[in-house]
Amino acid sequence: MSRSIVRQSKFRHVFGQAVKAEQGYDDIRVSKVTWDSSFCAVNPKFLAVIVESSGGGAFLVLPLSKTGRVDKNYPLVIGHSGPVLDIDWSPHNDNILASCSEDCTAMVWQIPDHSLIRPLSDPVVVLEGHSKRVGIVSWHPTARNILLTAGSDNLIIIWNVGTGEPLISMDDHPDLIYSVSWNRNGSLFCTTCKDRRLRVCDPRKREVVA
């Protein structure tokens, strides 16, 4: 009986097909800021993309149904005085989006159901607590109104967005934090850092557990 050494993949004859031009998004001036971020975020309603902007930071929010070429005069979400570095949609409300910027702040925005008809410049709340640029925003996966931010000051802050107050502050990282990811129930999060270490943190104990 012959037995194959290499396991056959059921996907070996599957090929991707590029969408048509009218099914995609065209003519979006994606930000050229040299920061390790995806520069976009999507949820069941909207696509958000960080774009080039003069005189501060801005991002574009498009309904998923609005495909094709994007008008250069399409209204932007503006409010940060420095380039926007990261954005994240709330897992509990498809109209709530968080952003962070080189201006040392994070902001939370309420996006209307319809397309923006004018630039949006008034955030729901401004979160100020970092001394250097804020590069990461990440919503808690199960608790409403809980947002994590991480900045170039090597500080992690967990906020109550409803009140705009910091709940927990952790300074366990000696160098720049590259990324943050929650576990499924939000009891722990892990981080990667420039010091080449991966840490598992318990926010309730306010300590690194692994």
Q: Which of 137, 118, 126 is nearest to 177 (CA)?
A: 137
- What backbone phi and psi angles, to 5 degrees, belong to 136? -135, 130
Determine the 3-state secondary structure of 191 from DSSP: strand
Specify the length of the chain in residues.
210
Least-confidence region, from 53-62, 125-134, 164-173: 53-62
pLDDT confidence of residue 24: 85
Sign of the dihedral defined by the CA atoms of residues 114, 119, 125, 130, in that order: positive
Looking at residue 1, its amino acid is M
pLDDT class of 5 with cuts at 50, 70, 90: low
pLDDT class of 105 with cuts at 50, 70, 90: very high
Long-range contacts of 19-22 (CB under 8 A, 24+ apart): 21/68, 22/67, 22/68
- Rounded Cα gap, residues 173 and 192, in angstroms: 9
| DSSP β-ladder status, 96-101 and 165-170 | unpaired
pLDDT confidence of residue 61: 94
Contact 99, 49 (CB under 8 A): no
pLDDT confidence of residue 198: 93
Residue 12 has pLDDT above 90, yes or no: no
Q: Which of 44, 28, 32 is nearest to 76 (CA)?
A: 28
Contact 58, 84 (CB under 8 A): yes
pLDDT in tens, 129-141: 999 999 999 999 9
Residue 65 has pLDDT above 60, yes or no: yes
At residue 35's C-alpha, the angle toward residues 100 and 149, to 5°, is 30
pLDDT confidence of residue 103: 94
Give the containing element (helix H, strand E) for 61. Answer: strand 57-63
Alpha carbon 130 to chain centroid distance? 17
- For residue 165 the two structure tokens come to 């107050």
Q: Which of 147, 205, 127 is nearest to 172 (CA)?
A: 205
- The per-residue pLDDT of the chain, averaged, comes to 90
Can you spell out the DSSP letters for 109-130?
Answer: EE--SSPPSS-B---SEEEE--
Task: Give percent of the chain with pLDDT exceeding 70.
Answer: 97
